[in-house]
Amino acid sequence: MVSTQTAVIHRPTLKGELMKQPLRIAIVGIAGMIAASIVIRPTPGIAAPSYSGNVTGSFDSLVLSGAFLQVGTRRPVFSDNTSTAAVSGIGTSSVAWSDKNVGTVAASALTFTGNSFSGVATDQVFPLGTLTYFNGSNGADSLIFGVTMHLSAGGSIMPFTAPVAIVSTQNGNLDRATDADLLFFGNFEIPATLAAFEGAAVTAIIHGKIVGDAQLEITSIGLARGEAGHGCVDEGPLEDSKGPCTSGCGDVCAAITLALTGPLCGSEQLPAVLGRRIGHSIDLLSQAASTTSERKAKKAVALVMKRLRRSAMIAGRAAKTGRISPACAEAVGKTVGNTQSQAEPWLSTR
């Protein structure tokens, strides 16, 4: 964020037929066995690679000259902060930047926390870790406009290195999406923008894979569970003139998520299998809310509704066996019914 006051620079063969063709069948059968022996026999001594380790990250190569977006117009305003930005944590997993009066304002910050991984195969997508972006209070002369992010999986795996653009906006106090500051990842397999609302820290999960000759690649980034109130992820190229968080499912995803995040049965504990299904549904809703493609959002919401209907059936069976109370099963069924009524009108539109 940029303080307004300091940023004014602005798809059958019959049995008889088979009996008439023994020679053909024999030939085909022999050929099939030969082909099968060729296809499925592994190369001796060569095993599919599997990787284990820990992901680490760091940031360096600051970009100290660039543009922030002017309030209202979202026009770029150039600023050279080579001698004015106060930055800390260069070369570490957490970098922060702030005004000179760092003691009186919260510094903006970018932090990567890596995951451990085990038995990961080549081209298998797995979570590398989380990226937390805090949108603090900065004057125009204290902004930074980019960093280089390095993610390493250790051993002989070649690390991922790419620039991250930082786009700050001048606050107009109109709405949180308009005032959000942005991180743009143009070198991910799916380019994406992570937006943090003013004064909020948003956490996203970075997914990647190890390809070819042990090269780490980033496939995507998506909000962590429960982070929809702190920011969003938009897929596709960054457009300065268009604000972030334009969800493909509008308010539908938010309404369904809100209905599912509360205690469905009060203080009564849901069976673990049911809790996991509902949690996964919330994660899918988060992904749907972060895409600007209505087609993708509808596909995700339709899948969520299928899972929720199944969850209601599981709750009903659990009540019959005494694992949960009839009242709890009824509450789960009612919640699923409510979400269905919210989703169906939108899913039926073209």
The tokens describing 256, both together, are 């369904």
Residue bearing the bigger pLDDT, 86 or 57: 57
- Give Cβ neighbours of residue 178 (< 8 Å, ≥ 6 apart): 169, 172, 243
Worst-scoring range by mean pLDDT, 46-60, 199-213, 280-294, 298-312?
280-294
**Angle at the Cα of 152 (from 180 to 211), degrees rounded to 5?**
100
- Give Cβ neighbours of residue 258 (< 8 Å, ≥ 6 apart): none
Mean local confidence (pLDDT), 119-146: 91
Please state, in angstroms and rounded to a whole number, the distance separating the CA atoms of residues 273 and 97.
43
Residue bearing the bigger pLDDT, 37 or 199: 199
Please tell me the chain's helix, strand, coil percentages from 3-state DSSP, rounded to the nearest 5: 30, 30, 40
Question: Token pair 């902004």 is at which residue?
Answer: 143
Worst-scoring range by mean pLDDT, 4-8, 118-122, 330-334?
4-8
Full-model pTM: 0.64
pLDDT of residue 216: 96
Q: Over pLDDT 70: what percentage of the chain?
A: 80
Do residues 123 and 25 touch, judged by C-beta distance below 8 A?
Answer: no
Do residues 210 and 119 touch, judged by C-beta distance below 8 A?
Answer: no
Residue bearing the bigger pLDDT, 272 or 327: 327
pLDDT of residue 16: 44
pLDDT of residue 88: 94
Q: How many CB atoms lie within 10 A of CB 176?
A: 19
Please state, in angstroms and rounded to a whole number, the distance separating the CA atoms of residues 86 and 24.
81
pLDDT of residue 47: 55
pLDDT of residue 109: 96
**Predicted confidence band at 27 (pLDDT cuts at 50, 70, 90)?**
very low
Please state, in angstroms and rounded to a whole number, the distance separating the CA atoms of residues 196 and 198.
6
pLDDT of residue 102: 55
Mean local confidence (pLDDT), 213-220: 92
Stated as kind and residue range, the H or E segment containing 216 is strand 215-223
Do residues 339 and 308 touch, judged by C-beta distance below 8 A?
Answer: yes
Let me know if 336 is exposed, middle or buried by CB neighbors in 10 A (0-12, 13-18, 19+): buried
Beta strands in 7-83 (DSSP E): 50-54, 56-63, 65-69, 76-80
**Predicted confidence band at 157 (pLDDT cuts at 50, 70, 90)?**
very high
Rg of the chain's alpha carbons, rounded to an integer?
A: 26
pLDDT of residue 194: 92
The tokens describing 26, both together, are 């024999």
The tokens describing 175, both together, are 């709405």
pLDDT digits (tens, 9 = 90+) for 243-298: 677 667 766 776 787 688 667 887 787 888 888 888 888 878 877 776 767 888 88
DSSP string of 161-178, one letter each residue: EEEEEEE-BB--SS-TTT
